[in-house]
A and B are shown apart, each in its own frame.
Chain A
Amino acid sequence: MACCPLPICPVSSALRRAFDRPAMIQEDTAAADPVLQRLVDQVRAAQSDGRALVIRGGGTKDFYGGAAAGEPLQTGALQGISSYEPSEMVITARAGTPLPEIEHVLAQRGQHLAFEPPHFGAAGAEGTVGGMVAAGLAGPARAGAGGVRDFVLGASVLNGRGELLRFGGQVMKNVAGYDVSRLFVGSMGVLGVICEVSLKVLPIAPARSTVELSGKQAQALRQVHEWTRRALPISASAWHENTLRVRLDGALAAVRAGTARLVEEFGVGIIEQDAARAYWNGLRDQQDAFFASGRAAEPGATLWRLCVPATHPPLDLPGSTLLEWHGAQRWLFSSAPPAQLREIAARAGGHASVFRAPQRGADFLAPLPAPLERIHRALKQSFDPAGIFNRGRLYPWL
């Protein structure tokens, strides 16, 4: 085995201050909490007048989803980490808590949000934990670690009747009643206001490396799946312009052995740590060259996100593409008609959604089959009978 020095960064496991604060928001918390009470009052007033509300945290994902109009309901003031127990691997935070604050507190104890949530918006803009859950977007680690939904343990939400409801909890295993807190992941605020969430957190892997290999898309897809099947600790992958990049995260021994194996057997090149970090963060936050140049090259183009089964062979797509999540997420800059892209994705067993468009249309997501549309309408009615929350943000009819 080669003894080349590998760019592996050990992560400090500094154990410092503990968080021990009162537990979660529940139904009688509002009266004692003016910030929460203001939200409850605003929802109740809107409900009685049938006025539309647009829920907003940090505003970093304003571009995402269908157009919704109405009076803003700001969650930004509802801040603070309610509890954090590193040895329980659970953090509970109020919806308006800035995401960077949570990530910082976790990193101090050697932990992180394993789904690698994106940070959008201009420099200095901060997304909130509530917005992170409501949008349900995960970063490059999605393929290996799971999505936002996989890490939500519980949530306190405000429904359209102004009732503060608490579902799930702060424990990993919980099958008491329907798993309502996870239903809010990716709900785009159409069911209610997320007030507080409990998230499972994981230790940051002790070691990480990134390698790259040239090859066409079909070959890259095959390769990355062959590698994951062999129990190599692959946490992320991306393919663009005939280059496959793969990230390994895990125990020092496993990452070292895995990287060495990829070097020897497949001739991959190792990307230096800082460059690798910049690459994955750029991909996560869409600051990467693909996203920047795609916007520049075709100014009127829409950024499409295609979710398809990861092993599906390359799609014949009209525009520049980048593959993530071992092929399960495929980005495309294109001006082609939505129906054409929806058709391509559907034939591949997936769906296409508009991620960023120069002009907001009514076609953010693919339409639903009739029984699912009926269930969506009925669920909306059950949470928000007056239809006040984020009208049109998920579907024009919801």
Chain B
Amino acid sequence: MNSELQDEPRAAAALVARQAEVLEALSAILPAQALLHRREETTAYECDGLTAYRQVPMLVALPESEAQVGAILQACHALGVPVVARGAGTGLSGGALPHRAGVTLSLARLQRILRIDPLARTALVQCGVRNLAISEAAAPFGLYYAPDPSSQIACTIGGNVAENSGGVHCLKYGLTLHNVLHVKGFTALGEAVEFGSEALEAPGLDLLPLIVGSEGMLAVVTQVSVRLTPKPQLARCIMASFDSIEAAGAATANIIAAGIIPAGLELMDRPMTAAVESFVQAGYDLQAAALLLCESDGTAEEVAEEIERMCGVLERSGATKIEVSRDEAQRLRFWSGRKNAFPASGRISPDYMCMDSTIPRRRLAEMLRAIEQMERTYGLRCVNVFHAGDGNLHPLILFDANDPDQLHRCERFGADILETSVRLGGTVTGEHGVGVEKLNSMCVQFSPAEREQMFAIKRAFDPEGLLNPGKAIPTLQRCAEYGKMHVHHGMLPFAHLPRF
């Protein structure tokens, strides 16, 4: 098929024939309305939350049962068709970008909540159930599902599993991995398979952490058993102002060093607070160089004790202003600014690119100074929000996508941020995933032998490479090309970079 693809008209004809062949095979499994093949229907699936990358899929399959998912995978395996699983399509790294000659497997219709067990504090749900819907279903029992990615209204639990999604509360409550007990699904061959166990541990190698965060490349998950958390009786939030980013960064380190694990610990720089304040009027201190949100939750006694200790640490760390939420309305108002950081950035700029690297917290000031320098180098502005508790940084690079030069500068700016993060001992993605967006940056973070080991893992699960091919792990060839074209600070980026 490769040699044919070089010849465009012939390739197009081959694709049409292939589409007919796959459509016929899948028609034996799904009713006609659950198989989209016309361009006007499939175009809706051409991208996920990262809209800069688009590709119309050859076919879209919309199964309604788990058995159908298995049958589709068997059929696709028999025909050698790539399959790209997709939840709500809210991912930010192009992980669900379709394959031109592949089937996009939309799992959004698998949305049954199968069981809420209040005594065991678990929920068993199908993969298309929305993150927030789990918490809503658990609410009558005083329980909720803790990981809260910002897209939680829309994103599905299956997508969360694929990306190992985080959120603002994961410092205290963990990532998706820490809150998933058991998943059921299918291999690339269409065999039913389970990973993990509601019994906390399963025999043999622990494959669950490989599946969680594998970006749909190792298996297709259709059912998830999650851990539920008792809803805290009370939550209060401190908003603290600092006259430098360094001071705010030091304050976060001091809180942790004092043995406190806040329920949330978020930092915003002045350009970011200015952008959100004009958008949602959260009551932010616009004079502050950096603003820290620090939350405590638990019983009334615990919260009172912790808030007092946190305030003490913040004062001693040089906070210029400290405000503690009086009631739930004010607490939510404090958070409204942080939670609207992305849309607020959309208001002050035609486009923005959201980065997602993690660095050791102590390198924060260094990182932000480097970003300031990059703003000058690339001639673009950048605003910063930071999950300060766990070192996960979201610089938002502001640009205009209609200007190809700005887009190009923005991409280089982003790559520079990621490589700087690796140099500071961090990682190119904290919670958004590699997808297609950060493939090149993976060349910097991992050695050829490490990447080859990851490919070997992929082959162990999916020998023919049919599940979401081309994502997450860059090929040796791609990295070689990236190395050639990309000279960083006068040297090849992955010659002698310290990695961790």
Contact = CB atoms under 8 A, between A and B. Distances in A.
A15 B257 contact: yes
Nearest to B171: A172
Contacts of B470: none
Contacts of A123: none
Nearest to A206: B259
A175 B433 contact: yes
Interface in A129-187: 136, 142-143, 146-147, 149-150, 154, 159, 163, 165-167, 169-180, 182-183, 185-187
Interface in B116-132: 117-121
Contacts of B457: 178, 180, 379, 382
Given A150-B174, A165-B450, A394-B205, A311 B119 contact: yes
B434 A176 contact: yes
Given A173-B387, A174-B427, A309-B199, A229 B438 contact: no
A169 B425 contact: yes
Contact of B166 (A86, A173, A198): A173
Interface string B414-432: 0000000000011111111
B277 interface: no
B390 A179 contact: no
B119 A154 contact: no
Nearest to A92: B500
B204 A180 contact: no
B178 interface: yes
A383 interface: yes
B120 A310 contact: yes
B170 interface: yes
B449 A253 contact: no
Given A169-B427, A375-B207, A177 B460 contact: no
Interface in A62-104: 85-90
Which of B387, B454, B460: most chain A CB closer than 10 A?
Answer: B460
B328 interface: no
Nearest to B120: A311
A307 interface: yes
Contact of B209 (A182, A204, A395): A182
A353 B197 CA distance: 15
Contact of A381 (B261, B299, B460): B460
Contacts of B434: 175-177
Given A87-B362, A171-B360, A206-B259, A225 B120 contact: yes
Contacts of B100: none
A254 B257 contact: no
Contact of B453 (A150, A307, A378, A382): A382
A240 to B, nearest CB: 19
A309 B175 contact: no
A110 B438 CA distance: 38
A167 B199 contact: no
Contacts of B428: 176
A202 B172 CA distance: 10
B260 A174 contact: no
Given A26-B500, A257-B301, A382-B459, A309 B198 contact: yes
A174 B306 contact: no
A252 interface: yes
Interface in B201-218: 201-207, 209-210, 212-214, 218
Which of A182, A206, A230, A252: most chain B CB closer than 10 A?
Answer: A182
A175 B449 contact: no
B299 A254 contact: yes
Which of B166, B193, B200, B299: most chain A CB closer than 10 A?
Answer: B200
Interface in B362-415: 362, 387, 390-392
B499 interface: yes
A13 B432 CA distance: 36
A350 interface: yes
A187 B445 CA distance: 25
A261 to B, nearest CB: 10
B337 to A, nearest CB: 22
Contact of B460 (A170, A173, A252, A375): A375
Contacts of A159: 453
B12 interface: no
A169 B141 CA distance: 37
A166 B500 contact: yes
Contacts of B199: 307-309, 328, 348-351
Given A165-B447, A257-B301, A171 B427 contact: yes
A87 B257 contact: yes
B255 to A, nearest CB: 9
Instruction: Give the interface size bracket for B toward A.
Output: 35 or more
A176 B445 contact: yes
A172 B446 contact: no
A164 B458 CA distance: 19
A122 interface: no
A231 interface: yes
Contacts of B233: 231
Interface in B434-477: 434, 438, 442, 445-447, 449-451, 453-454, 456-461, 463, 472-473
A85 B120 contact: no
Contacts of A370: 191
A349 B118 contact: no
Contact of A146 (B121, B174, B306, B358): B174
Given A231-B232, A328-B200, A173 B358 contact: yes
Contact of A173 (B118, B390, B472): B390
B261 A203 contact: yes
Contact of B447 (A27, A171, A228, A372): A27
A179 B203 contact: no
B253 A13 contact: no
Contacts of B391: 88, 171-173
A26 B500 CA distance: 8
Given A173-B430, A309-B198, A166 B499 contact: yes
Contact of A229 (B230, B387, B392): B230
A338 interface: no
Nearest to B472: A177
Nearest to B421: A171
Contacts of A325: 200
A177 B299 CA distance: 38
Contacts of B429: 174-176
B259 A203 contact: yes
A254 B203 contact: no
Nearest to A305: B201
B205 A179 contact: no
A167 B206 contact: no
Interface string A181-212: 01101110011000000100011101000000
Contacts of A190: 205
Contacts of A230: 230
Contact of B426 (A85, A169, A175): A169
Given A173-B358, A307-B201, A23 B425 contact: yes
30 contacts: A15-B257, A23-B500, A86-B256, A86-B257, A87-B253, A87-B361, A89-B256, A136-B206, A163-B453, A167-B450, A170-B425, A174-B427, A177-B442, A178-B457, A179-B213, A182-B177, A185-B206, A204-B259, A206-B259, A229-B121, A230-B230, A251-B301, A351-B197, A365-B203, A370-B191, A371-B187, A372-B207, A376-B205, A378-B459, A382-B453
Interface of B: 117-121, 141-143, 163-164, 166, 170-171, 174-175, 177-178, 187, 189, 191-194, 197-207, 209-210, 212-214, 218, 230-233, 253-254, 256-261, 298-299, 301-302, 304-306, 358-362, 387, 390-392, 425-434, 438, 442, 445-447, 449-451, 453-454, 456-461, 463, 472-473, 498-500
Given A176-B446, A254-B299, A351-B203, 20 more contacts: A88-B360, A149-B209, A150-B174, A150-B178, A159-B453, A166-B446, A172-B171, A173-B175, A177-B434, A177-B445, A179-B213, A183-B209, A198-B500, A203-B259, A251-B306, A350-B197, A372-B207, A375-B207, A375-B460, A382-B460
User: What 7 A-B pairs are tightest by C-beta distance, nearest first?
Assistant: A203-B259, A378-B460, A253-B301, A382-B456, A350-B199, A182-B209, A173-B430
